[in-house]
Chain A
Amino acid sequence: MKKKKSVVSYNKWGYIFLIPFAVVFVIFQLIPLVNTIKNSFFEHYRDGLTIIGPNWVGLKNYGKLFSEGNILKYFKNTMIMWIMGFVPQIIISLLFAAWFSDPSLRLKCQRFFKTVIYLPNLIMASAFSMLFFTLFSTVGPVNDILIKLGIIKEAYDFMAHTGSVRTLVALMNCLMWFGNTTILLLAGMMGIDTALFEAAEVDGATANQVFWKITLPILKPILIYVMVTSLIGGLQMFDVPQILTDGKGSPNNSATTLIMCLNNHLYSKNYGMGGALSVILFFITGVLSIIVFKFSGNEDKYGKA
């Protein structure tokens, strides 16, 4: 009897400690989420200083997004720029993590380099983007150098070509995030039991074999985590292309991401279309995350069996 009582009183404290999180979650996450979904069924915007709505329109906003909104194009843009940035990012990070975690390489100044590769992430994305915008403008230093070296004759307008704009966005995302990914992967690699490596070495495995057959399979949960977080971050790509293209997604909307489209809808406080777009983004994120998790979960089962 006495024992039971003490358990109950502990429970009470558990709930009390949960209150701050619950309150913050409800106010800043749940209510906005529910409101967003609600807004997506209403026509609600400003025409000059006149407020139109909110009027119930059912699924009309969703229909409009797909019929006139180019939403598939923007989704494609977002994914292309994410993949262009993510593939080199994961390769570089894996390579760096493998080097840093390999004791036989005896790398010097590890701490210094780990700090340096993380540094780009500390710069505000908008500042980073502004910097690239200036560097790569037609009268910027990159064009100056290329012309003076005789590589090109006339200034190349990086912002006027689909390929160069997308490459710049991908490059910036890659530069900003590869440090972060390296640290994550490195932590995963350090966690691997060194006995496994030693055993492999005794068995005569090459460094390549150790990497592909031991490190990568054990690292998989971390890799999946990195991939999912990067994917969600990628779908929400906004500041870098927004500032690089001055909010226009030029050329020809080829660098307009889903969130930039959302931002455009909010110009006239169009909560209906904005809400609909957000809900669609919510579902895309959900579905993609489930796919990635399912894919990894099945393999884990086979691995254990």
Chain B
Amino acid sequence: MKKRLLALSMAMIMAAGTLAGCTGDTAPASTTGGDEGGSTTTEATPTEKPVLDENVEVVDVSEEVEGKVLNIYCWNEEFKSRLTDHYPGYTEVDATHGKIGDIDVVWNITPSDDNAYQNNLDETLLKQDSAAADDKIDLFLVEADYALKYVDTDYTMPVTDLGISLSELSTQYKYTQDVMTSSDGKLKGVSWQGCPGVLIYNREAAKTVLGSDEPADVQAAVKDWDTYKATAADMKKAGYYMTATVNDTYRTFSNNVSVPWVSADKKVQVDDNIKRWVDDSKEMYDAGEIKSTENLWGDAWSSGFYPDGKVFCYFGPAWLINFCMAADTDGSIANQGGWGATEGPQGFFWGGTWICAANGTDNKATVADIMRKLTVDKDIMVDIVKKDDDFVNNQPAMEELAASDYTSAVFGGQNPLGMFAAGAKNISLDKISAYDQGCNEEFQNAMKDYFDGNADYDTALNKFYDAITTKYPALSK
């Protein structure tokens, strides 16, 4: 009995000890958590897009001592190949290491699937202050859908603090700078590409149904949404689907909204133009003019890359056509040069990658030089266009190339750059919010039930509100 009591008391002491241990541990942690919450700049979702302050003082960094290691965070090989192929002085050591002069370049590549890239980046950024100089992130990449999440924080460094003056960046398209402008008017990142989208059409289908595959004639058949719908009906009669999925047209609607997804007081709002996408898509899907309700990147979506898929058009920017539409696979339409490009019913943009300097970097001059070389240097940028078929963020260079004899093989010899250049000038990003990525994804997910006939519009909408407030607890309906 005595022994049992002893054992019991020991067990209790042990349990109590652990309890005390964890309260002791967590108390300071919670206070630091609170402090961090207080010290970071609050993310005010602006009702009006901030304007770039032209008079920000440019810091001279030429005297600063450079760190030994340049840590780059990104989600795929694209930026690495740009740096390897086009940045003078970069030599590759192995898959995750390189060298620029004496500086070791360390690549930390995390795929963006399931938000893994941002999760990893966020954890590292939150520890940025306490990390050793060689472990701090120096440079990282962001996409338009979540750029604001980083722009309005102290974790990104204004380019002027890197020694880059705004006048140096005058050749860039304005929208690429608008995205990265913080609410206090500072430019927090630059991009080497522009992502204006066009309507990419199947030339064979155009010939069969519309009688011509000339961009101007096709444009007449898709010039606005009503004409577009009429053409869809003709396509259906000829055995073609207008688009592969309902989500193909999504960006053309969501880029032309009158209110952002999230209002200044953090309420989620659905714009009339987004509602219009729902109505139009539902109507066309029910009429059998759209092939599937599946997500982009799925099997049904990519089936249209081949002639048997019987899909008339896709919506996308330069990177979609060159990297995603199976141009390297025998028998694909892109491989045979069977696509054409035209403006489509409305202008839009999709994607784009921006280079940000992380606050706390000890390689300011190197980061600045990478930014200058890849996003301003005309020769390098023209080289990117010629080698990689990308559309670069350099207005004069693109206009020059648009007028030149540059042709694109996937477009059967068409030069689409003029169209892209015109589109890039008109892109406006004043209706974006820090939560766009989640809003776009969850809205498309929720509406799939409506398109499939599993829910009415209101049920689907409630499901969206439910999902978005779960994903971003700061938001409310």
- Could you list which residues of chain A lie within 8 angstroms of chain B, going by C-beta atoms? 11, 22, 26, 30-31, 34-35, 38, 44-54, 68-70, 137-140, 157, 160-162, 246-248, 250-253, 261, 264-265, 267-268, 270, 273
Contact = CB atoms under 8 A, between A and B. Distances in A.
A22 B114 contact: no
A273 B33 CA distance: 17
Contact of B18 (A26, A38, A54, A264): A26
Interface of B: 3, 14-15, 18-19, 21-22, 26, 30, 33-34, 36-37, 40, 42-43, 114-115, 122, 125-126, 149-150, 153, 155, 292-295, 298-300, 303, 434, 438, 445, 448-449, 452, 454-455, 459-460, 463, 466-467, 469-474
A250 B448 contact: yes
A48 B445 contact: no
Given A246-B295, A250-B449, A268 B37 contact: no
Contacts of B295: 246
Given A49-B155, A53-B34, A252-B454, A30 B474 contact: no
Contact of A264 (B43, B452, B470): B470
Contacts, number: 118
23 contacts: A46-B122, A47-B43, A47-B472, A49-B126, A49-B153, A49-B155, A51-B40, A54-B33, A54-B34, A70-B466, A137-B300, A138-B292, A138-B294, A138-B300, A160-B454, A247-B114, A250-B449, A252-B449, A252-B454, A261-B470, A265-B470, A268-B471, A268-B474
**Looking at chain A's contact residues, is the secondary structure mostly helix, strand, loop, or mixed?**
mixed
A22 B14 contact: yes
A252 B463 contact: yes
A293 B382 CA distance: 74
Contacts of A137: 298-300
A49 B150 contact: yes
A248 B33 CA distance: 31
B454 A251 contact: yes
Contact of B299 (A38, A138, A270): A138
A49 B471 contact: no
Contacts of B3: 11
B19 A34 contact: yes
A161 B330 CA distance: 35
Contacts of B30: 54
B5 to A, nearest CB: 13
B33 A251 contact: no
A30 B15 contact: yes
Contacts of A162: 454
A276 B153 CA distance: 30
A49 B122 contact: yes
Nearest to A140: B299
A261 to B, nearest CB: 8
Nearest to A56: B30
Given A30-B18, A34-B22, A68-B469, A51 B36 contact: yes
A45 B299 contact: no
A238 to B, nearest CB: 14
B346 to A, nearest CB: 28
